[in-house]
Structure 1
Amino acid sequence: MIEKKYPLFISPQILELLGPSLYSNVYNVLAELIANAYDADAENVWLDFVDQSIDVEDDGSGMSYEEVTHKYLTVASESRKTLSDSYTPIFHRLKMGRKGIGKLAALSVSAKVKIMTVQNNDKSGFFLSRLVPEDGTLTPIPTQAITFNHVSGQNPHGTRIEMPNSDYDIPKRNGTIEKNLAKFFPQIEDNFKVHINLNGKESQLKPFLESVVQELDTLTIFDSSNRASYRQMAKEFELNNSTDFCKTFPAEKQAIKMQNKAKKRVSVNQEINGWIGTYRTTRNRKANQSDFPDNFIAIYSNDKLGKFNILQDAGINRISDVYLVGQFFVNSFENTLLPDMAMSNRQGYKIDDPRYKEMIAWAQNQVRFVSNLKKKVTDLKKAKKEKKKRADLLEEQRQIKENVSESLNIIQQASQESSKDQKPFLRQLDEQQLNRLSSAFTNIGTKKIKIDQSSASGRKVLISQTKADDRLNSVIYEMLLFNNFEPDEILYSTCVNAASRVPYGIHIYDYIREFFAQSALQHDLYVFYMDSDNTKCSRGVSVETGAGWVTQTKHFIIKAGKDAPQEPLDIRKPYSEIRFNHENNEIFCSEVAFSVFLQAINDVCSTFGKVPKTHDENTDYFTHSLECEIMDQSDFEAKVKDMEVASDGTKSTN
């Protein structure tokens, strides 16, 4: 009987399939090529951008003809198998490469790439193409045609890769290239420099820490080695910020049970170093958005970027996450003796690996800690700003009193004189007194306008509610934002967005009193009353309801509880019943109720000159983005009945 054999043949055409699709942008490609230079013990890497061509040259060890043919051109051959071959021979750097496919990165840029290398005056060169000849042999470059732009000397060594006719758009500014690549290579130092030449303009890659620390208002460092770069970062941070918001902790150490490459159960000692901070402001960041967002937490291993942003896994909410930035270093992710957890394109990790899970769980806690630290900074800034604002207001009031007193004194003196000679008192004023009087009245009018504008607070809409109904309250809030209201135009006391809360340092009842009084005097106000089972016994809601009744404020009622709304709310007008099931965090309403609610949205938009979204747009946002349900009346009534029966049963059981 003939023994069957099943040999596997990999076609060279794999390059045509993999080359263009491995990387999502040009910076990931450049990062792979720079990493190859780093592993070759290069001290300099030159990136030359001319028109639509990109050239990458380094002064690393280069390759002999034998190394080119037996190592470099072996695709997907693991470059790190033991601890001994995990370090470079000259600078003893931890090698970044592992999979043996980074050499294909250049094919993502160009269909045909020119590769040249020299070692001990032995020059080698060939064209790497997405379309490999059927015999698998690449087109060689004659020795005399192998040239370098930067590598020179009696014993030249290094590698040059030329990528003409780039499939990617060439960046327009050196600063854009520097900003993006700096996020890949935090280890830029004296013995590893990256030079950039963009159409004749030269620059050099600088450490990311140097630029970002100037923009932070909180900084938390995790370090057990007392790194000089982190000490310098903390020192520069404290020059512009309070030391209360600069925290230093030991590196996180985790013991993880898992299988190594030999399928043997081992204990891995995972250590996480790095830093996380918050930007002082996000203003103008969207306008200057580059290929990578400014808010990110990156993961590095062996000093190479492994995943640019873990906020999708470790973030807590979309509002506070926009301020976050950080870099964590986890070398166990590239441990040679452990399974390779990096994705094929080196742009992420396998999320089910136990090392990644442990890191993410820890990172989530740090994000919460730093977000709370950011809130303290924000509250402190607001308190200072509010204190100054009120001090300025008092000073303006004092000046008004002085101007009024001076004006009255001038008029009183003139009146006394006029009584003597029976002439109108204005005729008794000399030119100097007239000028002083005119100036005083002008100042009174100017200051009065300023005071009126500042005390009005700029709010337009109040959401009267209790924190127990925050899930439903946030739906109303998000619908207002969706219909073009700004956060600082809405007063929502338990909102996660500080712009919509009561200003820090002001008692809520004092603010509400001023809010209703000033609004009644100066401009319209609109209140959404959340009438639920929780609001019946809320003192805050009672105050807001009474204030609205006294000032005859326009309002809309949302029935969210079992009982019907009561006076002094205006129950003569239609209101909308939107129910919130606390047991499963579910919000639902009938089609009619939703239609009435949208009428209120249109009404409040009309009141303040806002352009509302269409009915279909609002419906889609309500149901899909906010995850609320709209149903016909009979289904709605049945669901309410079931919910209330279940609620009554729970109460009786308790």
Structure 2
Amino acid sequence: MADKKYEIDISPRILELLGPNLYTNIYYILAELIANAYDADAHNVWIFDDKDAITVEDDGKGMSYEKGDIKKYLNVAEVTRTGEEDAYTPSGRKKMGRKGVGKLAALSVSENVVIKTIADGEKSGFILSRYPKEGNLLEPLTEQEVKFNKVKRHGTAVVMLKPKYTLHATLDAVKKNLLRIFPTIGEGFKIHLIRNDEDKIVTRSDKSMVEELCALITFGEPFAKYGTYFDSGIDGTKGELLKILPEKVFEGVEIMNNNLKEKRPYNIVVKGWIGAYKTTSNRKQVASDFPDNFISLYANNKMGEFNILPSIGQNKLNEVYVVGQLHVDIFELSELDDMALSNRQGYRTDDVRYRTVIEYARNELLPQILELRTKYASFKKAEQNKKKLDKQKENEKKFQEQVETFIKKTSSEAAQRMVNAFGQGTPQEAEKIIRDTINDNSAELGLKPRIDEAKKKLLISHTKSDKDFADVVYEMLLFNNIPKTDILYTNCDDETARIPVGVNRKYGVYDYLRDFFVKSRSDQNIFVIFITSLDMRNSWGALVEVGAAWITRSEHKIFTINEFQPQQPLDVFSTWQTSQRIDGIGLRADSVNFDTFCQFIEHISRYLHYKPKGRDDNKKKLERLGFSSVS
């Protein structure tokens, strides 16, 4: 080995400039070295994370000095493939590398990098440096210095001395980050992570990854199988939140063929998947990690651009849930322009292939997955509401049982006490005995406060055609400190005030009133605001609500529109509020009824044990809502 000379074919000044600045992330650097091993037909890559060095060692074919492999390696930026005839390795793999600059990746980590290689027993080694000696010569290694941790007959080791980057404290995090770059690693190519006595293999985690998603769209093979792993966690929703689509093909796109020097029609084929997370908590632990919120581009099984979301998104809040991988092998088709950036961390944005995929992701994929994420959120909310309602029903049942127990126990004990006491007792003494007995057993009704607390406390009864008026009433209630969770308003734009809808079944306002007011043992009734108009006569629902209020003897207030005269069983003997709706003008009331509107709202707030706003504040708020006062 003493007579071997290692001359790097690049300007020392360029080497000095590019070396430390070409890559910005340790995982991109490791990716270049792993890709080199893949193109060398390695079956294993070992990454050793030691105290003063990071070593990447592979069992690929190695490099022979005698056969010119070393000279070719040191010819920086020599293109490795120009057509389909040199696009594959001897074992039939599609090559990942192309530019010939990946070897400089290690110089972004260390000023001096030890290169050791063996091919069919022939050893070679040298120190790749940002500052080569005169004549661009690199310092050679002796044969005794060319030692390996794992390699025997063939392979290469790249030792980055005193690295300026460090790997994550846990190998699981390192594994996760490498899977971002090589998501389709197969059985024939294994990446091993070794630190002290810890040894992990980077294996595909399709199943665990998909299990984190609440919505999923796949397009093309082999990604359709992801659908078998998918589970939104909500029964009966898989068909709504999972889409299995064929690969997307853009046919006949005119692209320049470098070999023929003319444009030819090509098909741009996009495969992959896009999904949405159930939650974003506990993600991205340190700055060097790739975030979990991304849409990556891949070609020939290697990441070319980590995240296109900033280019296609609109900064919508639910975009933080999006994740995806788009595989477009035509990005690396050898006979076409090399569109990858020099550091392999992105693509030329003016290339028609890139523009086509970006537009597809922006206009089709992203809107579709955001729609599914919104649908999941509504299913999740419905599931939570159903659980809440089921809990309320369970409490109602327990309360009924407690009431029955209370009555039975109280009656029995009272009777016994009266028998024992009325040898010389009086009616007043008997009354006291019964009262004392009831007080002694009052603890049996401890569930009642919880039942009453969970119920809606206020119903806005109206027809759909009077929603404009009901919206004003709703906003005034909120303004007077009544929480939306207390209000039942079936046409409300905010689902919090609407009746919850189950995932697999509907739950209507009449079901709710029946379960928690008519059939309830609790004596708490719902307060009702009746918004009445001529349309009410033709609304069966509104008439039923009037009947329900009468049956349950609910307290209520009446707001009427356009001189409509409310009828019994409503409380027509008390004052009601009257407003007018005038086309082109809106809602209005005379000064007395304008004041009455505010008075009613304040009364309801106090009735429900909240603190209302002052009259002047309420009048100003009512005017801001478009409700005018006329003389």
Counterparts in 2 of 1:187-202, with a 5 A limit?
Answer: 187-202=184-199
CA deviation map 1:375-394 (0-9, x unaligned): 22222232232122112112
Structure 2 counterpart of 1:357: 355
CA deviation map 1:598-654 (0-9, x unaligned): xxxxxxxxxxxxxxxxxxxxxxxxxxxxxxxxxxxxxxxxxxxxxxxxxxxxxxxxx
Structure 1 counterpart of 2:87: 86
Structure 1 counterpart of 2:38: 38
Structure 1 counterpart of 2:14: 14
The correspondence for 1:182, drawn from 179, 183, 187, is 179
Task: Provide the C-alpha distance between the structure 2 equivalents of 1:331 and 1:108, rounded to a whole number of angstroms.
Answer: 28
Question: Does the CA contact (< 8 Å) of 1:488 and 1:499 recur in 2?
Answer: no
Question: Does the CA contact (< 8 Å) of 1:382 and 1:503 recur in 2?
Answer: no
Question: Does the CA contact (< 8 Å) of 2:218 and 2:224 recur in 1?
Answer: no
Compared CA separation, residues 510 and 397, structure 1 to 2 (3 A): closer
Compared CA separation, residues 416 and 269, structure 1 to 2 (3 A): same
Alignment pair present for 1:173 and 2:170: yes
Question: Does the CA contact (< 8 Å) of 1:180 and 1:290 recur in 2?
Answer: no
The correspondence for 1:570, drawn from 608, 614, 619, is 619
Alignment-mate amino acid for residue 387 of structure 1? K
Alignment-mate amino acid for residue 251 of structure 1? E
Task: Provide the C-alpha distance between the structure 1 equivalents of 2:134 and 2:457, rounded to a whole number of angstroms.
Answer: 78
Task: Provide the C-alpha distance between the structure 1 equivalents of 2:292 and 2:367, rounded to a whole number of angstroms.
Answer: 19
The correspondence for 2:228, drawn from 235, 260, 272, is 235
Structure 2 counterpart of 1:382: 381
Q: Which has the larger radius of gyration?
A: 2
Cα shift at 1:443: 5.1
CA deviation map 1:292-327 (0-9, x unaligned): 111211110011101111111233443222222211
Alignment-mate amino acid for residue 160 of structure 2? M
Task: Provide the C-alpha distance between the structure 2 equivalents of 1:294 and 1:130, rounded to a whole number of angstroms.
Answer: 34
Instruction: Please give the root-mean-square deviation of Cα atoms over the aligned residues, in Å.
Output: 4.4
Compared CA separation, residues 359 and 573, structure 1 to 2 (3 A): closer
Cα shift at 1:212: 0.1
CA deviation map 1:121-163 (0-9, x unaligned): 11111101112224211111112211111011xxx11100011
Task: Tell me which moved more, 198-207 or 396-405.
Answer: 396-405
CA deviation map 1:225-265 (0-9, x unaligned): x43xx354222225967540322111000132233336522
Alignment-mate amino acid for residue 351 of structure 2? D
Structure 2 counterpart of 1:406: 405
SS in 1 for 2:17: helix
Structure 2 counterpart of 1:622: none
Task: Provide the C-alpha distance between the structure 1 equivalents of 2:192 and 2:29, rounded to a whole number of angstroms.
Answer: 16
Counterparts in 2 of 1:23-34, with a 5 A limit?
Answer: 23-34=23-34
Structure 2 counterpart of 1:341: 339
SS in 2 for 1:570: helix
SS in 1 for 2:227: helix
Structure 1 counterpart of 2:537: none
Alignment pair present for 1:259 and 2:256: yes
Alignment pair present for 1:393 and 2:395: no
Task: Provide the C-alpha distance between the structure 2 equivalents of 1:201 and 1:535, rounded to a whole number of angstroms.
Answer: 76
Alignment-mate amino acid for residue 158 of structure 1? G
Question: Does the CA contact (< 8 Å) of 1:393 and 1:451 recur in 2?
Answer: no
Structure 2 counterpart of 1:640: none
Task: Provide the C-alpha distance between the structure 2 equivalents of 1:274 and 1:437, rounded to a whole number of angstroms.
Answer: 69
Structure 2 counterpart of 1:142: 142
Cα shift at 1:351: 1.8
Compared CA separation, residues 425 and 20, structure 1 to 2 (3 A): farther
Task: Provide the C-alpha distance between the structure 2 equivalents of 1:12 and 1:492, rounded to a whole number of angstroms.
Answer: 75
Cα shift at 1:275: 1.1
Compared CA separation, residues 394 and 576, structure 1 to 2 (3 A): closer
Counterparts in 2 of 1:251-330, with a 5 A limit?
Answer: 251-255=247-251, 256-261=253-258, 263-285=261-283, 291-330=289-328
Task: Provide the C-alpha distance between the structure 1 equivalents of 2:108 and 2:410, rounded to a whole number of angstroms.
Answer: 85
CA deviation map 1:307-361 (0-9, x unaligned): 1111112334432222222111001111111111111111111222211111111
SS in 2 for 1:218: strand
Structure 2 counterpart of 1:601: none
Alignment-mate amino acid for residue 348 of structure 2? K
Task: Provide the C-alpha distance between the structure 2 equivalents of 1:213 and 1:319, rounded to a whole number of angstroms.
Answer: 22
Question: Does the CA contact (< 8 Å) of 1:414 and 1:428 recur in 2?
Answer: no
Alignment pair present for 1:250 and 2:246: yes
Compared CA separation, residues 189 and 490, structure 1 to 2 (3 A): farther
Cα shift at 1:20: 1.3
CA deviation map 1:252-294 (0-9, x unaligned): 0013223333652222210001111222222333668871111
Alignment-mate amino acid for residue 130 of structure 2? R
Question: Does the CA contact (< 8 Å) of 1:400 and 1:443 recur in 2?
Answer: no
Task: Provide the C-alpha distance between the structure 2 equivalents of 1:489 and 1:117, rounded to a whole number of angstroms.
Answer: 74
SS in 1 for 2:104: helix
Alignment-mate amino acid for residue 180 of structure 2? K
Cα shift at 1:68: 4.1
Question: Does the CA contact (< 8 Å) of 2:279 and 2:321 recur in 1?
Answer: yes
Cα shift at 1:109: 1.1
Counterparts in 2 of 1:469-618, with a 5 A limit?
Answer: 505=501, 537=586, 548=601, 551=604, 569-571=618-620
Task: Tell me which moved more, 101-110 or 275-284.
Answer: 275-284
Alignment-mate amino acid for residue 173 of structure 1? T
SS in 1 for 2:19: helix
Task: Tell me which moved more, 309-318 or 195-204.
Answer: 309-318
Question: Does the CA contact (< 8 Å) of 2:64 and 2:124 recur in 1?
Answer: yes
SS in 2 for 1:291: coil
Compared CA separation, residues 370 and 74, structure 1 to 2 (3 A): same
Alignment-mate amino acid for residue 25 of structure 1? N
Compared CA separation, residues 437 and 490, structure 1 to 2 (3 A): closer
Task: Provide the C-alpha distance between the structure 2 equivalents of 1:161 and 1:500, rounded to a whole number of angstroms.
Answer: 60
Structure 1 counterpart of 2:368: 369
Task: Provide the C-alpha distance between the structure 2 equivalents of 1:29 and 1:100, rounded to a whole number of angstroms.
Answer: 14
Structure 1 counterpart of 2:450: 449
Question: Does the CA contact (< 8 Å) of 1:48 and 1:56 recur in 2?
Answer: yes
Question: Does the CA contact (< 8 Å) of 1:220 and 1:246 recur in 2?
Answer: yes
Alignment-mate amino acid for residue 620 of structure 2? I
Question: Does the CA contact (< 8 Å) of 2:192 and 2:200 recur in 1?
Answer: yes
Task: Provide the C-alpha distance between the structure 2 equivalents of 1:495 and 1:357, rounded to a whole number of angstroms.
Answer: 43
* TM-score (normalised: structure 2): 0.70
Alignment-mate amino acid for residue 246 of structure 2? P
Cα shift at 1:367: 1.6
Structure 2 counterpart of 1:530: none
Task: Provide the C-alpha distance between the structure 1 equivalents of 2:84 and 2:613, rounded to a whole number of angstroms.
Answer: 70
Alignment-mate amino acid for residue 187 of structure 1? T
Task: Provide the C-alpha distance between the structure 2 equivalents of 1:19 and 1:338, rounded to a whole number of angstroms.
Answer: 28
Task: Provide the C-alpha distance between the structure 1 equivalents of 2:352 and 2:277, rounded to a whole number of angstroms.
Answer: 31
Task: Provide the C-alpha distance between the structure 2 equivalents of 1:44 and 1:324, rounded to a whole number of angstroms.
Answer: 33
CA deviation map 1:481-519 (0-9, x unaligned): xxxxxx9999999999x99786753889999x98999xx
Structure 2 counterpart of 1:70: 71
* TM-score (normalised: structure 1): 0.67
Compared CA separation, residues 448 and 488, structure 1 to 2 (3 A): closer
Task: Provide the C-alpha distance between the structure 2 equivalents of 1:490 and 1:323, rounded to a whole number of angstroms.
Answer: 31
Question: Does the CA contact (< 8 Å) of 1:545 and 1:568 recur in 2?
Answer: no
Which stretches in structure 2 are left out of the alignment for 5+ residues?
Answer: 1-8, 459-466, 469-483, 502-506, 513-524, 530-581, 589-593, 627-631
Structure 2 counterpart of 1:621: none
Cα shift at 1:105: 0.6
SS in 2 for 1:20: coil
Compared CA separation, residues 568 and 80, structure 1 to 2 (3 A): same
Task: Provide the C-alpha distance between the structure 1 equivalents of 2:620 and 2:103, rounded to a whole number of angstroms.
Answer: 73
Compared CA separation, residues 130 and 96, structure 1 to 2 (3 A): same
Which stretches in structure 1 are left out of the alignment for 5+ residues?
Answer: 1-8, 458-465, 468-486, 518-532, 558-565, 578-654
Task: Provide the C-alpha distance between the structure 2 equivalents of 1:537 and 1:203, rounded to a whole number of angstroms.
Answer: 70
Count, aligned residues: 502
